[in-house]
Chains A and B, each alone.
Chain A
């Protein structure tokens, strides 16, 4: 679906109802604007999940655990789980 919207006085725009329905958007949702070779790409963001990732990242940064520690431990756990499950 293609559509045209107008930027009003206070830099506001209204999304057509049909577009909102098709993209499963509702008021309060966030959109990610990305400039790409003279065009603008607009992507909806599922806010909740991205916020949760950001919060987990903040906890990880404050810890003394490195990404490498996390990955190594993941490998070890996988080995253990696979061996337990299939032994």
Chain B
């Protein structure tokens, strides 16, 4: 069965910057039936950061986004975010909340320490994984 995988912005930056586990992760997902998810904040963060730091790469980023065709989740409402207050640090909560609400199977991030994995796995279906662990999983 196809899995839904939310890919946090830090994984995008690592995949763009260097060859390795993060670009492999995109390659593996793209050859599978699995679907890549992001949300509006992550999309804006990735575009803004690349336009500031690597402006020459911006047209390629747009083509890449078009090619992989991710599902872009709407930013959750404040009321929804409040349900998950203990799950992560303040600025990661909207991203995590949209992933949980969309019932994604995996959330892949390079900053797993910023998420309360024990609580998340106890209360939701979502698995938070570092890229290397996610690679083993798929």
Total residue contacts A-B, CB cutoff 8 A:
115
Give A36-87 interface residues, CB cut-off 8 Å to B: 43-46, 48-50, 52-53, 55-57, 59-60, 63, 65, 67, 69-71, 73-75, 77-79, 81-83, 85-86
Question: At the interface, yes or no: B134 with Cβ under 8 Å from chain A?
Answer: no
Question: Given the complex, which residues of A lie within 8 Å of B92, measured CB to CB?
Answer: 78
Mostly, the A contact residues are: helix
Mostly, the B contact residues are: helix
Question: Given the complex, which residues of B lie within 8 Å of A79, measured CB to CB?
Answer: 91
Q: How far is the CA of A60 from the CA of B13 in the complex (A)?
A: 10
Interface contact B31-A70, CB-CB below 8 Å: no
**Which 10 residue pairs across A and B have the least CB separation, nearest first?**
A52-B64, A49-B67, A59-B57, A56-B57, A46-B30, A67-B17, A56-B16, A70-B13, A82-B91, A60-B17
